[in-house]
């Protein structure tokens, strides 16, 4: 991973399997799901340019 500084790995120790799946209440765990969602939003904000069109090439 040293050659990929843009890679981020996060482990939600208390999350369990499918913790962000609201359609499966037996698995859904809202607290770690909220933390993970915020990390996703921040990651995408850093790595996806806002307002620019994607290249089709």
Residue 48's CB is within 10 A of a number of other CB atoms, namely 9
Is residue 52 in a domain?
A: no
Q: What is the pLDDT of residue 55?
A: 57
Instruction: Quote the domain boundaries for residue 21.
Output: 13-47
**Length, in residues, of the chain:** 57
Q: Contacts from 43-51 at CB under 8 Å and sequence distance 24+? A: 43/8, 47/6
Is residue 55 in a domain?
A: no
Is residue 57 in a domain?
A: no
Is residue 53 in a domain?
A: no
How many folded domains does the chain comprise?
1
* pLDDT, tens digit, 9 for 90 and up, residues 6-47: 788 899 888 988 998 989 989 999 999 999 999 999 988 988
Q: What is the pLDDT of residue 53?
A: 62
């Amino acid at each position: 991973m040293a050659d990929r500084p843009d890679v981020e790995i996060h482990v939600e120790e208390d999350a369990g399997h499918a913790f962000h799946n609201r359609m499966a209440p037996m698995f859904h765990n809202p607290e770690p799901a909220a933390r993970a969602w915020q990390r996703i939003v921040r990651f995408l904000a850093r790595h996806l340019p806002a307002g620019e069109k994607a290249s089709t090439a």
